[in-house]
Amino acid sequence: MWPLLPLFVFSSVLCCAYCTGPSSFELQVAAETEADSNDITEHPHDDKPRPYVCTVCDKRCITKQQLNNHKISHTGEKLYSCSQCGKCFANQHYLRNHMYIHSSRYNCTECGKCFQEKLALNTHQRIHSGEKLFECTVCSKRFTQSADLVRHSRIHSGEKPYKCYECDKVFSQSGHLNTHMRVHTGDKPYKCSLCNQRFTTSSHLYSHTGRVHMNRRPYDCRYCGRLFKGSCELKRHVRIHTGAKPYSCRHCSDHFTQLGQLKTHLLKSHNEGTWFTCNIC
């Protein structure tokens, strides 16, 4: 039996997302969009032989050159530079795509970005117009590109084709798997320009910059108006107002507002844990 495939609506016509598929340019744009996060190209339905295997992440490639290009994603090297603006790229493919910015005759009047084909330009301009032609038949959410709809449809189907070879955790998108792999590799590609501290994701870097260097406190308590740097701090504070005690003792009926209170209780009342004693007296 063939698996059920996601559907999308385009110009009021019901179509199969895998049969019609995204245009070649939309796939290219999707790949370029995720390239900055060293994403793994999505090809769960591609049955081409892939004899070349990456020794770092077990990704399989069709050609040896493709494997060599992929390996650069693990080193972070950007060996190919643009002769026009000096921007550097991990491989020649990304550099060639970038060069369209300087040479193509199909220019976006909104942002100046250039494209090789008129169809590519038309697809790009949906970003500025807000036009979303692809609709999910399950939740009616709309998307500018069919590739985005295909990825979104996995939420409803439960499809998770990307599996971590370290811990067997599975993901619906290759970008999520790539980010997860940093847990195992320890890779922290995002560095704070103010203190050189490094982070696994750009969102963690943004949060760090706001909290530590800008003293940003975006989370406010709806009961008293007090401001907090992080959502976890706010959640702990709100329990003062609501009286919530989510931490319960497994030995007795006591409940606590904070995890630290529960740990102290387990140590003192049930002798569970470790006492820290002075080695002198």
For the chain, the domains span 22-159, 219-269
Highest mean pLDDT pick, 10-14, 77-81, 164-168: 164-168
CB 190 within 8 A of CB 199: yes
Task: Report the largest interatomic distance among the alpha carbons of the chain, rounded to a whole angstrom.
Answer: 82
pLDDT for position 74: 67
Specify the CATH number of the domain 22-159: 3.30.160.60
Rounded to 10 degrees, the C-alpha dihedral 251/255/261/263 comes to 20
Same fold, 22-159 and 219-269: yes
Give pTM, 2 decimals.
0.38
**CATH class of this structure's domain 219-269:** alpha beta
C-alpha count within 13 angstroms, C-beta hemisphere, residue 164: 17
pLDDT for position 7: 40
Q: Alpha helices of the chain — where are they, by DSSP H?
A: 17-20, 24-35, 64-75, 92-103, 118-129, 146-157, 174-185, 202-208, 231-242, 259-270
Q: Tens digit of pLDDT for each residue in 6-38?
A: 443 333 333 333 333 334 333 343 333 333 333
Q: Tens digit of pLDDT for each residue in 50-66?
A: 778 877 777 788 888 88
CB count, 10 Å around CB of 101? 16
